[in-house]
């Protein structure tokens, strides 16, 4: 059973139409981001609000954004996020699938049950994919969050994502793009490992 699962995993990745795989994955991710991005803008503004800021709730932040910037204000930094997040998602999917094949080969000699093998291999792959993608996600987050709060509660104003990037490099160098990188890895890598491990083992149990 383990050999069969491993073989099937390798065949699926080798024969996969990569163009459709990446286009579909990027398309779905973009659609979800469009729907949820305003929530990120509102949450970020609430987090950076000072005690003197009048907008202290989600509803007041929404009203303030719509009053000053209209609907586009809910999508400040969106272009930067999509520009960087699509390549990051491609890196994630590639690392996930290729690492999964290697991980299955590593656990095969231990003769674990099929669900256990799937959990271990998918968990390793999920963690590795998250670490790889954070190398792109974190700089994009740093830039987009500065755009989300620009001009708000005393924060500096910028002329787009490139302007933010130039100022970060001038003040902090490349390291400025990776503020919070360690915490991001510590937060998202374990959760990615657990999610993919659960998915892989559940899939084997259900499809038996």
Is pTM beyond 0.95 here?
no
| pLDDT at residue 56, as a whole number | 66
> 127-162 pLDDT, tens per residue?
999 999 999 999 999 999 899 888 776 678 888 889
- Answer yes or no: is pLDDT of 31 > 70: yes
How many CB atoms lie under 10 A from the CB of residue 189?
Answer: 19
The pLDDT assigned to 117 comes to 92
Amino acid 20: pLDDT:
76
Gyration radius of the chain over CA positions: 21
Q: Residue 40's Cα: distance from chain center in Å?
A: 13
Rounded to 5°, the CA angle 205-104-8 comes to: 65
Is pLDDT of 191 > 90? yes
């Amino acid at each position: 059973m383990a050999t069969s699962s491993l073989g099937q995993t390798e065949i699926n990745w080798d024969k996969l139409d990569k163009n459709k795989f990446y286009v579909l994955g990027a398309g779905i991710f973009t659609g979800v981001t469009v729907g949820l991005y305003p929530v990120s803008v509102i949450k970020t503004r609430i987090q950076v609000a000072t005690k003197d800021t009048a907008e202290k709730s989600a509803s007041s932040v929404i009203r303030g954004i719509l009053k000053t910037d209209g609907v586009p204000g809910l999508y400040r930094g969106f272009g930067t996020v999509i520009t960087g997040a699509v390549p990051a998602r491609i890196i994630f999917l590639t690392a996930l699938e290729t690492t999964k094949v290697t991980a299955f080969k590593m656990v095969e000699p231990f003769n674990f049950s099929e669900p256990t093998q799937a959990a271990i291999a998918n968990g390793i792959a999920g963690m590795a994919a998250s670490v790889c993608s954070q190398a792109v996600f974190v700089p994009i987050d740093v830039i987009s969050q500065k755009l989300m709060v620009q001009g708000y509660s005393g924060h500096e104003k910028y002329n787009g994502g490139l302007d933010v990037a130039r100022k970060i490099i001038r003040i902090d160098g490349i390291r400025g793009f990776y503020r919070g990188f360690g915490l991001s890895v510590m937060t998202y890598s374990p959760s990615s490992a657990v999610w993919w491990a659960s998915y892989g083992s559940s899939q084997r149990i259900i499809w038996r």
